[in-house]
Amino acid sequence: MRVTDLVTLGLIEPDVALSIGGFSLQFPAEAHLTAEGRVRLPDGREFTDLVAAAAAATGLDIWHFWQSEHSGPLSSARERARRGQLA
């Protein structure tokens, strides 16, 4: 499901300001939800994917937020996979 789907269904209003809830004090970011359901950052970049928009707005690699109980940060596993270091 994309943001545009929620706009189309009338579940969220378009053309409003957005912020990152919960993390706003640690990672301040702001954006605008366009009438088309895209997330527009202050620098003009637009996204339909909320994860991509959050990553771009905060400058963070979202993969660092998730960790496996046994193998640590998913970002580490991703890097190992990119280098061909498979289990």
Radius of gyration of the chain from Cα atoms? Answer: 16
Domain count, the chain: 1
Token representation of residue 64: 């660092």
- pLDDT of 24 reads 47
Does residue 87 sit within a domain? no
Does residue 48 sit within a domain? yes
Note whether 34 and 45 are within 8 A (CB): no
DSSP string, 3-54: HHHHHHTTSS-SSEEEE-TTTTTTS--EEEE-TTS-EE-TTS-EES-HHHHH
Does residue 77 sit within a domain? yes
Look up the domain containing 10 and give its range: 3-82
- Distances 26 to 23, 44, 57 between C-alpha atoms, Å: 5, 23, 13
> Per-residue pLDDT for the chain (87 aa), expressed as one digit of tens each?
677 787 888 888 888 888 766 554 556 678 899 988 899 999 999 998 888 888 888 887 777 766 777 667 777 888 888 888 765
